[in-house]
Structures are given as structure tokens and as C-alpha cells.
Amino acid sequence: MQTNNLTAILRKFRESLNLDKNTWQNFSIFLARLHLEAAPDEIRAQFTGPLANTSPESKELAEVFAMLHTQAEDQARAAKVLYSLAQLWTEAIRLRGGAA
């Protein structure tokens, strides 16, 4: 997915949650770190160290993962279906255009 389209989708999703950009990014990184056990090894390495050291590309990947996770969680609660964290990571990487 092209970066401009992805940026617009993420902004629209963030705004639907009534979150400012900084709060959304911090939450996204937290959620990504919380579910790193399901991420590929090359992704895990991107989220080590202090929050301030997280690259812009990794922040965007975390935002995509958080958006997908939030949507999957909503669907799971509504329809009582399961989802795979590993599949969410795979989809986030694909949408982002590859690992950061």
C-alpha cells in the first residue's frame, strides 16, 4: 500500500478513536511490544530499547498493527470469532510494504 494512502487510513482510524497523534503512537508501540511474541524475529528487534529510539518506520508499523488488532478485537467480540496475532503481524508488514 502506498505510504500516502496508509497515512490517510491511519489518521482516519486514529481520529475515529478521538486520539491525538502522540497518544495513538504511544499506544500503538505499547500494543506492538505487548504482542511481540507473535511477531517475526526481525520485527522484535525493532521494538527494543527506549520509546524515543523507535524509528519512524517502526512507529508506522506499530500503528498498522494496532489498527488491525483493534479491528480484529472488535470483530472477535461481536461475532465471537478468534484471530491470530501472528497473522495480524503478517498483514501489518504486508500493508506497510515490508518490515521497517
User: Can you tell me the distance from the alpha carbon of 97 to that of 99, in angstroms, rounded to the nearest whole number?
Assistant: 7
Write the CA distances from 27 to 2, 36, 63, 82, integer angstroms: 23, 14, 8, 22
| CA distances in angstroms from 24 to 13, 14, 16, listed in the order given | 10, 7, 11
Instruction: Give the pLDDT confidence score for residue 1 in this predicted structure.
Output: 54
Over residues 72-96, the pLDDT tens digits come to 999 999 998 899 999 999 999 999 8
pLDDT of residue 56: 93
Q: Which domain holds residue 61?
A: 3-96
The whole-number average pLDDT for the span 46-57 is 90
The total number of structural domains that make up the chain: 1
How high is the pLDDT of residue 26? Answer: 94
Pairwise pLDDT comparison (99 vs 48), residue with the higher score = 48
The reported pLDDT for the residue numbered 97 is 84
Q: What is the pTM of this model?
A: 0.91
What are the CA-CA distances from residue 99 to residues 41, 65, 77, 92 (Å)?
A: 11, 12, 29, 9
The residue count for the chain? 100
- For residues 55 and 99, the answer to whether their CB atoms sit within 8 Å is no
Q: Which pLDDT value is given to residue 3?
A: 66
